[in-house]
Structures are given as C-alpha cells and as structure tokens.
Amino acid sequence: MHGLDTEQQIFFYEQEFYVFSNFSSFKLEWKGEMWMTSEHAYHSEKFEDEDILEQLRNSSSAHDSMKIAYAYKDKYRKNWDEVKLQVMKDILHAKVEQHPYVKKKLLESGDKELIENSWRDDFWGWGPNKDGNNQLGKLWMEVRDEVRSHIN
C-alpha cells in the first residue's frame, strides 16, 4: 500500500516526488563518468573490478544495475558497509547540483519527513512493516538541510 503525502510526510517511492528515488531517470556525472541513474553510480562504488564496472556502465536500467551488483556481492570492496551511507549522500548532493528540477523539488518538500515507502527494503526504505530504517529518506533530509544552509 502506498502512503499518500500529508502535511508532515512525503512518500517518494513512485509519486510526485519520485525524483528522490535512485531509479528516477536523471543521468549523473560521477567521478568523471556519466551514469544513467544515481542507482548506477551508487553500485559503481561497490567495485574495483573493471569488467563489473563496464557491465554497470552498459546496463540499460536502474533495476538491471541493481541485479548486476547483487550478482557480484562477493566482490564488493572490503569497507563497503562502513562507507555506503556517505557514498549515497555524496551521490544525492551530486544529483541536486546537476539537476535544478531535483533541487527545486527538494526545497519544495519544506520541512516534511521524507520517506522511501519501498515495501521491499527496510534499510533504505521503510520496508514491508513500515518500521524500517528509511536511510534514503534520512539522507535526503540531511542533504535538504545542507542545501538550504548554502542558500541562506
């Protein structure tokens, strides 16, 4: 069941604020390369193997990039769990800087809580029981605060 936006909360898995999803169609320049989506860029950070990176570069959708990354879980860089939140935050900042529309939507979200209402993922989203970590939503709120502090 999808949440509906309220005065206090914005749900961004598939509705009006879909731009916050890593699957949304916003190309991203990341570390000197163009990636089809922020999802692609995120998965590229997991690997040093050039063959896997090439597969990610050539994957035609965010979903495909995710499948490729999961297929090579055993080849993730050693410190991945320690760095993945900062990597994601840096990618979100890049997405905002490179896409005025994303920045506009982020600022329009005001002070509302941002929730990735993905029923699949209880780390990045709120998961099947709506009690997950919502790490992606939390990172977007941090990025929003940081973007705002540079404007004022």
CATH label of the domain that carries residue 103: 1.10.357.40
| Cα separation, 152 vs 149, whole angstroms | 6
Q: 14-40, pLDDT tens digit by residue? A: 567 788 889 898 999 999 999 999 999
3 assigned to some structural domain? no
Q: What is the pLDDT of residues 92-129, one digit of tens each?
A: 999 999 999 999 999 999 999 999 888 889 999 999 99
Q: Tell whether 136 is covered by a domain.
A: yes
- On whether residue 1 sits in a domain, the answer given is no
Q: What is the pLDDT of residue 1?
A: 43
The whole-number average pLDDT for the span 31-54 is 97
The domain containing residue 21 runs over which residues? 9-151
**27 and 35 in contact (C-beta within 8 Å)?**
yes
What's the CA gap between 140 and 89, in Å, rounded?
Answer: 8
Tokens of 78: 């050693």
Read off the tokens for 81: 């769990």
User: In whole numbers, what is the pLDDT of the chain averaged over residues?
Assistant: 92
Tell me if 40 is assigned to some domain.
yes
116 vs 141, more confident: 141
In this prediction the pTM is 0.88
- CA dist 11 and 130 (Å) reads 12
Burial category of 56 from C-beta neighbours within 10 Å (exposed 0-12, middle 13-18, buried 19 and up): buried
**What Å distances lie between residue 30 and 45, 68, 77, 94, 112, CA to CA?**
10, 19, 18, 8, 28
- Number of domains making up the chain: 1
Closest CA to 30 of 88, 100, 104: 88
Residue 70 domain flag: yes
Q: Has residue 4 been placed in a domain? A: no
